[in-house]
Amino acid sequence: MKTASRTITFAVALLTVFISNASAIDSEATKLLKKRNSEFKQEVIKVNEDVYTAVGYSVSTVSMIIGKSGLIIVDTGLDTISAEKVLADFRKISDKPVKAIILTHSHGDHTGGVRVFAGGGKPQIWTRSNFGSEAHPLEQAGLTIQKVRGARQGGFMLPPEKRINNGVAKAYWPKRGGAVFASEKSWKPTHYLSEGPKEN
């Protein structure tokens, strides 16, 4: 009986060592994700003389266009923390006031920093006329898979030790958790873009 017990104990110990060694070896996918981290360092890239794009601050980019009398900001990042860092680095380039904010769509990773860039001023906030409606057809049909897909795509459902990056951005842990892609309601668009007349 003692021999069988020792054999089982030895087998369990050997299996534990094997599993821990196997998990320490990175898969090809893990190696690629780790290699991609170098792409996500925080920096402001000069696109041309008056256009700059901030990358690596959160899971989406923020762009600044310098006009004659002020700045136009295109998308505002995921949250106020990342937006404050972007704004501080933009201020190293220009101290002109923010005159307008353009939001490409309503997901929270593009709209979370609106209040930061608006500051104490009242910039125009431009959106599409159907801003916020991206998920409406799916929700009206009773489908919620896009929320699960978004959380999986961004890696927000993984535990911290398994977060290498978001695949398209550095690993980021927003305080809003599962609501990371939900648009904040503390502001409203002031101007709307429409598609305009269609040609025949």
The tens digit of pLDDT for each residue in 124-142 reads 999 988 877 765 555 666 6
Most confident of 8-17, 26-35, 113-122, 131-140: 113-122
User: For the chain, how many structural domains are there in total?
Assistant: 1
pLDDT of residue 14: 53
Q: Residue 69 falls within a domain, yes or no?
A: yes
Which DSSP state fits 42?
-
What's the rounded Cα separation, in Å, for the pair 192 and 179?
A: 25
CATH number of the domain enclosing 74: 3.60.15.10
pLDDT tens-digit readout, 139-182: 666 666 666 776 776 677 777 777 888 766 777 766 655 455 55
Q: Residue 108 falls within a domain, yes or no?
A: yes
Q: Residue 60 falls within a domain, yes or no?
A: yes
Least confident of 42-51, 102-111, 120-129, 165-174: 165-174
Q: Residue 58 falls within a domain, yes or no?
A: yes
Pairing of strands 51-55, 62-66: antiparallel
pLDDT of residue 167: 61
Q: Residue 199 falls within a domain, yes or no?
A: no
Q: Residue 162 falls within a domain, yes or no?
A: no
Pairing of strands 98-102, 71-74: parallel
Does pLDDT of 79 surpass 80? yes
Q: What is the pTM of this model?
A: 0.72
Contacts of 168 (CB under 8 A, 6+ apart): 59
**Where does the pLDDT of residue 62 fall: very low under 50, low under 70, confident under 90, or very high at 90 and above?**
very high
What's the rounded Cα separation, in Å, for the pair 159 and 150?
A: 16
Does pLDDT of 34 surpass 90? no
pLDDT of residue 187: 82
pLDDT of residue 160: 76
**Where does the pLDDT of residue 69 fall: very low under 50, low under 70, confident under 90, or very high at 90 and above?**
very high
Domain hosting residue 99, numbered range: 28-128+183-193
Share of the chain above pLDDT 90, in %: 34
Q: Residue 6 falls within a domain, yes or no?
A: no
Least confident of 37-46, 67-76, 117-126, 131-140: 131-140
pLDDT of residue 176: 53
Q: Residue 159 falls within a domain, yes or no?
A: no
Residue 96 in tokens? 């002109």
Task: State the average pLDDT for the chain.
Answer: 79
Q: Residue 172's CB: how many other CB atoms inside 10 A?
A: 23
